[in-house]
Amino acid sequence: MRIKNYILSITCIFLILLATACESESDKRKARLKQLDKEINQLKKETNLMNDYLDACEKVSKC
């Protein structure tokens, strides 16, 4: 599951770089980067929740 989250993060970073290269106007580029940053932050929050859930599952399975 963590590998999947890493792949999602790398994909988002790739999309940021692609968006930066493709946008021609500075204002559009800044707006898009801001949106992608929000999406990345959301993915990080979801990743942290998943990691917490997996850690809790591991602790329960050890008992």
For position 7, what pLDDT does the model report? 85
Average pLDDT score over the chain: 84
- The answer, yes or no, to whether residue 20 has pLDDT greater than 70, is no
- The answer, yes or no, to whether residue 24 has pLDDT greater than 70, is no
Place of tokens 């790398």: 10
pTM flag (> 0.85): no
Cβ neighbours of residue 1 under 8 Å, at least 6 residues apart? 50, 54
- The answer, yes or no, to whether residue 49 has pLDDT greater than 90, is yes
For position 11, what pLDDT does the model report? 86
Question: DSSP secondary-structure letter at 25?
Answer: S
Q: Across residues 33-59, what is the average pLDDT?
A: 94
- Cβ(19)–Cβ(29) below 8 Å: yes
